[in-house]
Amino acid sequence: MHVLILGGTTEARRLAELLHGTTGLRLTSSLAGRVASPRLPPGETRVGGFGGPDGLAGWLSEHMVDAVVDATHPFAGTISFNAAEAAAVTHVPLLALRRPGWVPVEGDRWHEAASLAEAARLLPALGRRVFLTTGRMGLAAFADLDDLWFLVRSVDAPEAPHPPRMEALLDRGPFTLDGERALLRRHRIDVVVTKDSGGAATAPKLSAAREAGLPVVVVRRPPVPEGVPVVADPESAAGWLCERLGQHFYPGR
């Protein structure tokens, strides 16, 4: 049996670890290739795009894939919809593995935005020194805000177009609450921008912003394609695969 994991996330690596070594299972993890030195999961890996839904459908057929788990980042919307279309064409079962989104608590000063462009429109009324934690992709949405200063944190160096007044901080989570507190103080941050990625690895920035009374612009995540079942953790994804692939599949054995 052949399982394809569309990965690049902590959850995808954890699922690969759960499945690795399972008797009778071929496991392939696909990475988008947007990070120069990704953390590779166990099992086979491939890097790069498929060429749209038709290319992915062809790959599923050529490699005789029995099930697909879309464990991509919650904001990697294009591949999710390509996967849904390809799975429908090839009749391959598809599951979405999505970590739960963050939920505001008492003391949070959240301002929700539907897109990076909307987040950029909100910023001038909220602060002047911005901690931008949406990654290096999509910085063009903030490129016209020349009155604001940005601290941009990403794994790899950002490329133009980006805000003209910007300092890049190359770092990879998980991050600590003490570290985030110190970062906000050191750079005199007065507003934070984040995507609703969910998970614990980057959540401390929200706690640090709450303690400091800072506004946070939270970009809402795109929806999962209609009709695709969703689970919240790798263990549930492994259980779904066991049910789908039946007697041919025994996780961990």
Least Cα distance to 132 among 74, 212, 189, 179 occurs for 189
Surface-to-core class of residue 193, CB atoms within 10 Å of its CB (0-12 exposed, 13-18 middle, 19+ buried)? buried
- Give, for all 253 residues of the chain, the pLDDT tens digit: 999 999 988 899 999 999 998 888 999 999 987 666 677 899 899 998 999 999 999 999 999 999 999 999 888 878 999 999 999 999 999 999 999 999 999 999 999 999 999 999 999 999 999 999 998 888 999 999 999 999 999 988 998 899 999 999 999 888 999 999 999 999 999 999 999 989 887 899 999 999 999 999 999 999 899 999 999 999 999 999 988 887 555 555 5
| 3-state per-residue secondary structure call for 53-88 | HHHHHHHHHHCCCCEEEECCCCCCHHHHHHHHHHHH
Q: What are the residues facing 44 on neighbouring strands? A: 28
| For helices 234-245 and 10-19, angle between their N-to-C axes, nearest 10 degrees | 50
Domains in the chain, ordered, with CATH?
2-100+222-248 (3.40.50.720), 109-219 (3.40.50.720)
Residue that the structure tokens 């290319």 belong to: 55
End-to-end CA distance of the chain: 14
The pTM score is 0.82
Residue 253 neighbours by CB under 8 Å, 6+ apart: 22, 23
pLDDT of residue 176: 95
Separation in Å, CA 112 to CA 116, 200, 201: 11, 20, 21
